[in-house]
């Protein structure tokens, strides 16, 4: 297989991010334009719908802006309640607060008091310094057990050293006892930045009012502050006389404009013979008085926008079609190697390693690396299966993998094969010739054994050991073992008749009995094998073949246990009763002559 190169590849992450981001951007833009075009015959409705989008954007940004302060308060309350922070440990408090202020730049600072109203720690922004609380500020903000809210609560705008904050306060308890108070704040000057970012299309201007008399945020707040009246008590600008004269006339609005189906109020404000559409909404929970968020736009500006929107909509539709086609082509291109890999992985799962088609190299780095890794895995498995019986692995996988293999005692059929006179035969062979000779011989033995559902346990020199009845239970295991022995004999005779290879003869023994079967070995080197006295007995029976050697191509001896299990399926010839080393009782041994006839109802499924 060609070497898979890995350089000069494009990152899949970058490619997908760029493609998907571009498609989403195009789709969202097209949807916005189509929405505007659908309302082409009603300018006021289009303006209102655009305003509602801006309103929703403003409300979302506002919630995102204030929620970190609420989350911070809840977090500190929870830590104190659980005893995870100690109010007397200033360094711990400082580190904890710095960690929470870092991701919340909109939170201007935090202060924690103990129950004697003494400020334990105060942080401003995230510079890490512990601030000194001015006595006037301490008296103004210091909370007592009676004044601190039981749960995090937003307070009225508060001026601290000339800066107006929207505050969040709460009492701190541990084990039900009041231990101090916590306060944080949001600089309202930064609210104007949120409003500026939320001001939408069609020349709309967003704003936030505090109640019905004060301006809390405006996109041009720094510019208009010098042209507006200041409420000294709240340090907020009055709406009446505000520098934005259009917004200042909002209380004089005409309410004849049809109301929106959304949760907004609609109104028309006349200023300098121009009509301005206002959309507003009251929201509560951030101070004692409700806030009013809103947007307004000049109704005369909508006409020119329609013409541009119509042309843009047509172009956007064409771009959308192109984007969809390109997206489909790109998706198919990206999916092709992944689908091919999935098919090949299924073949690996089935251990069908010969027919695997590995996808070609891809210019996408991640997919190409996956292909290379899969190629290395397949090559490793092909090497590995040379040393591990594939049929055994398949059966173990079908039963749940190696973790499901538990060593148990089972009644199994066992076979030993050995080449007669191998030592003398190999004296005149070169090492390579010996290896080829054994490989050819074991290929025949292995093929005959696996054809009858047997498992090759191991090769020992010129001998082979196999068993039946595990890992799959086989009710006819003795029959299968005898058939395999006869198949080996026929193959040996056929090889000799055809004059192929070295003229050789084999000894075969078959026995059955109780064995311990399962994973046996040290960690990192496990064999699925069998152990027990039955193995020794079968090996001794194979040694007895020398005593009945009549020059046959294959001498097959079986125990009386095998004869009893196969009933009348085969022809046997009694050999005699032999004392077997390690056994107190002699073993009756028979010579397997041949199979009488096919046994009805016996499955010959292979592994």
Question: DSSP string of 348-408?
Answer: HHTT--TT--PPPP-SBHHHHHHHHHHHHHHHHHHHHTTTS-HHHHHHHHHTT-GGG---E
Identify the band that residue 183 occupies on the pLDDT scale cut at 50, 70 and 90. confident
Least confident residue range of 370-379, 385-394, 471-480: 385-394
Superfamily for the 39-289 domain: PAS domain (3.30.450.20)
Question: What value does the mean pLDDT of the chain take?
Answer: 76
Q: Calculate the CA 253 to chain-centre distance.
A: 56
Mean pLDDT, residues 534-547: 89
- What is residue 286's DSSP assignment? S
CB 301 within 8 A of CB 308: no
Pairing of strands 463-468, 525-531: unpaired
Identify the band that residue 558 occupies on the pLDDT scale cut at 50, 70 and 90. very high
Identify the band that residue 130 occupies on the pLDDT scale cut at 50, 70 and 90. very low
Closest C-alpha among 209, 170, 168, 211 to residue 187? 168
Residue 283, both tokens: 């929201």
Question: Which comes out higher in pLDDT, residue 101 or 232?
Answer: 232
Q: What are phi and psi of 140, to 5 degrees?
A: -75, -40
Which of 55-69, 162-176, 204-218 has the highest average model confidence (pLDDT)? 204-218
Task: Go through 82-94 and write b for each residue having 16 or more CB atoms within 10 A of its CB, e for each that does not.
Answer: eeebebeeeeebb
Closest C-alpha among 413, 318, 296 to residue 30? 318
Identify the band that residue 486 occupies on the pLDDT scale cut at 50, 70 and 90. very high
Mean pLDDT, residues 76-82: 88
Q: Quick count: other Cβ atoms within 10 Å of Cβ 489? A: 21
Cα–Cα distance, 98 to 85 (Å, whole number): 14
Residues, the chain: 607
Count helices and strands in the chain by DSSP H and E runs: 15, 21
CB 556 within 8 A of CB 591: yes
Which of 135-139, 354-358, 414-418, 539-543 has the highest average model confidence (pLDDT)? 414-418
Q: For Cα atoms 59, 65, 66, give the angle at the middle one, nearest 5 degrees.
A: 95
| pLDDT for the residue 142 | 59
Mean pLDDT, residues 446-466: 89
CATH class of the domain at 395-595 = alpha beta
Cα–Cα distance, 188 to 145 (Å, whole number): 27
Closest C-alpha among 418, 284, 394, 362 to residue 12? 362
CB 402 within 8 A of CB 396: yes
CB 537 within 8 A of CB 513: yes
Q: Give the count of alpha carbons within 13 A of 316, CB side only.
A: 22
Mean pLDDT, residues 474-489: 92
Cα–Cα distance, 473 to 478 (Å, whole number): 12
Task: Go through 304-338 and write b for each residue having 16 or more CB atoms within 10 A of its CB, e for each that does not.
Answer: ebbeebeebbeebeeebeebeeebeeeeeebeebe
List all residues 6 or more positions away from 12 whose beta carbon is below 8 Å from its beta carbon.
334, 364, 365, 366, 367
What is the share, in percent, of the chain residues with pLDDT greater than 70? Answer: 66
Pairing of strands 463-468, 408-419: antiparallel
Residue 335, both tokens: 């999916």
| pLDDT for the residue 525 | 62
Residue 394, both tokens: 């398949």
Q: Calculate the CA 514 to chain-centre distance.
A: 47
| pLDDT for the residue 484 | 94
Helix (H, G, I), strand (E, B) or coil at 405: coil
List all residues 6 or more positions away from 402 whose beta carbon is below 8 Å from its beta carbon.
396, 519, 526
| pLDDT for the residue 413 | 93
Kindly write down the DSSP assignment for every residue of 146-157, as one continuous string: TTS-SS-EE---
CB 420 within 8 A of CB 505: yes
| pLDDT for the residue 125 | 53
Question: Which comes out higher in pLDDT, residue 297 or 239?
Answer: 239
* pLDDT(503) > 90: no
Extents of the domains making up the chain: 39-289, 395-595
Q: Quick count: other Cβ atoms within 10 Å of Cβ 235? A: 17
Question: Which comes out higher in pLDDT, residue 225 or 483?
Answer: 483
Mean pLDDT, residues 267-285: 83
* pLDDT(213) > 50: yes
Distances, alpha carbon 51 to alpha carbons 196, 206, 346, in Å: 14, 9, 55
CB 276 within 8 A of CB 268: yes
* pLDDT(504) > 60: yes
């Amino acid at each position: 297989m060609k070497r898979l190169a890995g350089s000069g590849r494009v990152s899949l992450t970058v490619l997908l991010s760029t493609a998907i981001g571009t498609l989403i951007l195009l789709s969202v833009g097209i949807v916005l334009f189509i929405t505007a075009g659908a309302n082409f015959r009603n300018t006021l409705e289009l303006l209102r719908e655009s305003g509602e989008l801006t309103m929703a954007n403003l409300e979302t940004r506002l919630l995102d802006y204030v929620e970190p302060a609420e989350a911070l308060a809840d977090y500190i309350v929870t830590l104190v309640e659980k005893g995870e922070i100690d109010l007397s440990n200033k360094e711990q408090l400082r580190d904890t607060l710095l960690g929470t202020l870092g991701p919340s730049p909109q939170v201007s600072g935090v202060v924690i008091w103990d129950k004697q109203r003494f400020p334990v720690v105060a942080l401003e922004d995230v510079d890490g310094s512990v601030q000194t609380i001015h006595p006037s500020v301490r008296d103004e903000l210091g909370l007592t057990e009676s004044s601190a809210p039981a749960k995090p609560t937003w307070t009225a705008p508060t001026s601290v050293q000339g800066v107006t904050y929207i505050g969040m306060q709460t009492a701190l308890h541990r084990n039900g006892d009041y231990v101090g108070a916590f306060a944080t704040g949001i600089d309202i000057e930064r609210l104007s930045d949120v409003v500026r970012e939320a001001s939408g299309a069609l020349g709309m201007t967003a704003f936030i009012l505090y109640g019905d008399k004060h301006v809390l945020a405006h996109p041009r707040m720094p510019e208009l502050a010098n042209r507006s009246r200041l409420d000294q008590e709240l340090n907020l600008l009055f709406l009446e006389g505000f520098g934005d004269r259009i917004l200042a006339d909002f209380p004089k609005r005409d309410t004849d404009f049809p109301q929106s189906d959304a949760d907004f109020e609609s109104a028309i404000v006349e200023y300098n013979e121009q009509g301005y559409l206002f959309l507003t909404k009251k929201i509560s929970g951030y101070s004692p008085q409700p806030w009013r968020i809103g947007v307004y736009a000049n109704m005369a500006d909508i006409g020119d926008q329609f013409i541009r929107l119509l042309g843009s909509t047509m172009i956007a539709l064409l771009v959308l079609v192109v984007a969809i086609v390109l997206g489909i082509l790109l998706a198919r291109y990206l999916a092709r190697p992944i689908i091919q890999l999935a098919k090949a992985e299924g073949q690996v799962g089935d251990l069908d390693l010969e027919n695997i088609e590995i996808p070609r190299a891809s210019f996408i780095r991640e997919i190409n690396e996956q292909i290379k890794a899969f190629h290395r895995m397949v090559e490793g498995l092909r090497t590995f299966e040379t040393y591990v019986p594939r049929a055994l692995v398949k059966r173990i996988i079908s039963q749940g993998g190696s973790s499901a293999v538990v060593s148990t005692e089972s009644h199994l059929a066992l076979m030993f094969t050995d080449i007669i006179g191998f030592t003398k035969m190999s004296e005149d062979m070169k090492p390579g010739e010996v290896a080829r000779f054994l490989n050819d011989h074991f290929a025949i033995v292995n093929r005959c054994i696996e054809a009858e559902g047997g498992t090759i346990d191991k090769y020992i020199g010129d001998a082979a050991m196999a068993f039946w009845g595990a890992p799959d239970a086989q009710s006819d295991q003795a029959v299968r073992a005898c058939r395999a022995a006869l198949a080996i004999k026929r193959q040996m005779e056929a090889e000799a008749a055809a004059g192929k290879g070295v003229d050789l003869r084999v000894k075969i023994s078959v026995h059955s009995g109780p064995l311990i079967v399962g994973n046996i070995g040290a960690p990192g080197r496990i064999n699925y094998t069998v152990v027990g006295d039955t193995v020794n007995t079968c090996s001794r029976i194979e040694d007895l073949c020398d005593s009945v050697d009549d020059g046959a191509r294959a001498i097959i001896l079986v125990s009386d246990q095998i004869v009893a299990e196969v009933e009348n399926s085969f022809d046997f010839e009694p050999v005699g009763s032999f004392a077997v080393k390690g056994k107190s009782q002699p073993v009756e041994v028979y010579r397997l002559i041949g199979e009488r006839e096919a046994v009805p109802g016996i499955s010959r499924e292979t592994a």
